[in-house]
Amino acid sequence: MKKKLYLYIALLFGFLGFAQQISSSIDSTQIKIGSQFNLTIKAKVNEKDKVVFPDGKFFGALEILESYPIDTLKNDNQYELIKKYGLTQFDSGRYVIPKLLVKINQKEFRTDSLSILVNDVKVDTTKQQMYDIKDIIATEEKPMSEWWKLLILLLLIIASGFASYFIIKRLQKDKEQKEEFFASPIEKAIAYLQNLDKKQLVQRGDVKEYYSEMTDITRTYIEESIHIPAMESTSSELMEALKKAIADKKMFVNREELDKFKKVLENSDLVKFAKSQPLPFEIETDKKIIDKFLLVIDKALPRTEDQAAILFAEEVRKKEMQKQKAKRLALSAGISAFLLVASVVIFTYTIGFDFVKDSYLGYSTKELLEKEWITSEYGEPAIIISSPKVLKRTIDEKIQNNLPENVKSTSRFAYGNITDDFSIVLITTAYKDTTKIDLDLALEADLKELEKFGAKNIIVKTGEFENVKGLSGKKAYGTFTALDPESEEDIKMQYDIMVLSQPGGAQEFFFMYREEDKHAMEIIEKIQNSIELRKAKK
């Protein structure tokens, strides 16, 4: 009985221990129709724990407007993961956020259910002029998005590009095959011997077929060029006829070359009739002997003026064929380039030019200044700024794992790189106590951080910072040089560093931009004047 009691107590405390890992809260208990409120889910876990927060488009009857990135706070050996959701409802009434599922290492946990009151917006009809209800006006139905049609068009263009390439290659090959006639027996023999090597008969073990084709090509050449019955003759008969023809035509052929050719014919007979298996190097040697022997015979042949003219015409034809081949390749390259450009244009139009600029091209400072800005909250202590682009959180594991004892958490957010037209780095630090940092020392540390970014030859000026909302701090500004990875040359940049401090927290800004860029200076001033601080959490 006692064992069961102890087991029950152990399970109970274990359950309570797990339950304390998950907590949830909302920042308001009532809202107006369509207004946003935030749901926060916190999970206390160890470094290696895997946490999966709830996802979807609705939590109960409440619509999710935005799912924010997960914030991470380190406390001794534990981590606190903070996940925020922006919710709303467009009908009045009281709604309940149901118990939501959170998985930690495949174990399931549930949040508390929370209640939110959505108030109706009161409309006073006595203080505004009322009008009669107007007749219904027929309007043109808004067409559905046609992005999928553009995607199909893009795929068709790419497919047609490949098809055009293969069709041109095929036509080129067919034309070459149709034009495959030879001005002389030696040209035909060399072409057939080269094609024999491409068949890879020896590699497949068909040595007999290899020798048979090689000697047939040679016999055909001899028959066509010297006019002796080489195909129907035995090897010995062929050699006798060949020697007689050489003597009659007064051809100069070295006896050593004839002996080597005779040896190849004998090897061929052994392979075809005695099932001999020569070694690979012997096969290669025989092939070289045949190649050389054909050239020796062709060089020794007496030629008339007509035959010489035919050979000259053949050389002219070959050069013309090479020109035609170059034109076809240029046409293929032109079609491929056109399709590539068309694909890029359609791709850009389909997914949006802003996406392409974000991912591949980047914005000029003038475009950043003139585009619609975004107001966002970053880090802890929370800092609110307006900027042309949302800053992305960057994580440095080395820094996160080696925080000073009095530092509760640090977060880093950035846009762009040090050599871009414009870039920002924002660092927020929360302390475990009411520490207030020395701004001068912080600026010195930030200048060293600027060197880590890749800055060289830094010129420093310091001063006070104050914006239109009364926030004040210290700043450092000046110029530096950095290596441009594209041109591999040093470019001159300007920078502004700002440090703000409050009890329990600090915020550091790095602004980097091309020297004398007036639009970048206006961007910095606009961002600085938008800064708002929230008090550090105790």
| Helices 147-178 + 305-351 axis angle, to 10 | 170
The count of structural domains within the chain is 3
Q: Does residue 397 sit in the same domain as residue 515?
A: yes
359 lies in a domain?
Answer: no
* Pairwise pLDDT comparison (160 vs 96), residue with the higher score: 96
Share of the chain above pLDDT 90, in %: 11
pLDDT above 70 for 158: yes
Contacts of 280 (CB under 8 A, 6+ apart): 202
Alpha-helical regions (H) of 20-100: none
327 lies in a domain?
Answer: no
Of the listed ranges 40-44, 311-315, 317-321, the least confidently predicted one is 311-315
Q: Does residue 377 sit in the same domain as residue 515?
A: yes
Of the listed ranges 131-135, 198-202, 413-417, the least confidently predicted one is 131-135
* Pairwise pLDDT comparison (435 vs 280), residue with the higher score: 280
Q: What is the DSSP letter of 534?
A: P
Q: Going edge to edge, which strands form the sheet with 374-378?
A: 374-378, 383-387, 532-533
CATH number for the domain that contains residue 511: 3.40.1000
Among 266, 285, 302, residue at a domain's last position: 302
Question: What pLDDT sits at residue 150?
Answer: 59
Q: Does residue 277 sit in the same domain as residue 391?
A: no
| Contact yes or no for 89/96 (Cβ under 8 A) | no
Of the listed ranges 183-197, 228-242, 320-334, 483-497, the least confidently predicted one is 320-334
pLDDT band, very low/low/confident/very high, at 314 (cuts 50, 70, 90): low
- CA 43 to chain CA centroid, Å, is 34
Q: How far apart are CA 459 and CA 235, in angstroms?
A: 91
Q: How many residues does the chain have?
A: 538
pLDDT band, very low/low/confident/very high, at 317 (cuts 50, 70, 90): low
* Pairwise pLDDT comparison (77 vs 457), residue with the higher score: 457
Exposure string over 177-211, b if 16+ CB within 10 A, otherwise e:
eeeeeebbbbebbbebbeebeeeebbeeeebbbbb
Q: Does residue 102 sit in the same domain as residue 190?
A: no
Contacts of 387 (CB under 8 A, 6+ apart): 373, 374, 376, 415, 424, 527, 530
Question: What pLDDT sits at residue 488?
Answer: 83
Q: How far apart are CA 29 and CA 37, in angstroms?
A: 9
162 lies in a domain?
Answer: no
- Summarised one tens digit per residue, pLDDT across range 486-530 is 778 888 999 999 998 888 888 899 999 988 888 889 988 999 888
pLDDT above 70 for 358: no
Contacts of 443 (CB under 8 A, 6+ apart): 462, 474, 475, 476, 497, 499
Among 68, 99, 119, residue at a domain's last position: 119
Q: Does residue 384 sit in the same domain as residue 508?
A: yes
Q: Does residue 52 sit in the same domain as residue 192?
A: no
360 lies in a domain?
Answer: no
Share of the chain above pLDDT 70, in %: 75
What is the per-residue DSSP string for 147-206?
HHHHHHHHHHHHHHHHHHHHHHHHHHHHHHHHT---SSHHHHHHHHHHHHHHTTTTTTT-
Which amino acid is it at 436? K
Q: Does residue 384 sit in the same domain as residue 519?
A: yes
Q: Does residue 298 sit in the same domain as residue 400?
A: no
Of the listed ranges 161-170, 266-275, 321-330, the least confidently predicted one is 161-170
CATH number for the domain that contains residue 85: 2.60.40.10
- Summarised one tens digit per residue, pLDDT across range 467-479 is 887 888 899 999 9
Bridge partners (DSSP) of residue 478 are 460, 495
Alpha-helical regions (H) of 382-538: 397-400, 439-453, 518-530
Question: What pLDDT sits at residue 325?
Answer: 72
Mean pLDDT of 272-279: 87
Among 287, 302, 317, residue at a domain's last position: 302
* Pairwise pLDDT comparison (152 vs 135), residue with the higher score: 152
| Contact yes or no for 349/149 (Cβ under 8 A) | no
CA dihedral 384, 386, 389, 395 (to 10 degrees): -20
Mean pLDDT of 179-190: 73
CA dihedral 409, 415, 416, 420 (to 10 degrees): -120
Q: Does a cis peptide bond (omega within 30 degrees of 0) precede residue 381?
A: yes
Q: Does residue 428 sit in the same domain as residue 283?
A: no
9 lies in a domain?
Answer: yes
* Angle made by CA atoms 285, 291, 293, in degrees to the nearest 5: 100
| Helices 235-248 + 207-226 axis angle, to 10 | 30
Q: What is the DSSP letter of 421?
A: S
- Summarised one tens digit per residue, pLDDT across range 430-452 is 888 777 778 888 888 888 888 88
The answer, as to whether pTM is greater than 0.85, is: no
* Pairwise pLDDT comparison (78 vs 312), residue with the higher score: 78
Question: What pLDDT sits at residue 9?
Answer: 43
pLDDT above 90 for 162: no
Q: How far apart are CA 367 and CA 376, in angstroms?
A: 20
Pairing of strands 58-59, 71-75: unpaired
Mean pLDDT of 236-255: 86
489 lies in a domain?
Answer: yes
Averaged pLDDT score across all residues of the chain = 79
51 lies in a domain?
Answer: yes
Which uninterrupted H or E stretch holds 299? helix 280-300
Which uninterrupted H or E stretch holds 515? none
| Contact yes or no for 69/81 (Cβ under 8 A) | no
Q: Does residue 377 sit in the same domain as residue 511?
A: yes
* Pairwise pLDDT comparison (38 vs 139), residue with the higher score: 38
221 lies in a domain?
Answer: yes
Handedness of CA 451, 455, 457, 459 (dihedral sign): negative
Residue-range definition of the domain harbouring residue 491? 372-533
Mean pLDDT of 385-406: 80
Exposure string over 336-361, b if 16+ CB within 10 A, otherwise e:
eeebeebbeebebebeeeeeeeeeee
Q: How far apart are CA 39 and CA 84, in angstroms?
A: 6
Strands of 467-535, DSSP E: 472-483, 490-502, 505-514, 532-533
Question: What pLDDT sits at residue 245?
Answer: 85
Residue identified by tokens 């929230």 is 534
pLDDT band, very low/low/confident/very high, at 327 (cuts 50, 70, 90): confident
Q: Does residue 379 sit in the same domain as residue 524?
A: yes
Contacts of 458 (CB under 8 A, 6+ apart): 447, 450, 451, 478, 479, 480
Which uninterrupted H or E stretch holds 390? none
Q: Does residue 242 sit in the same domain as residue 388?
A: no
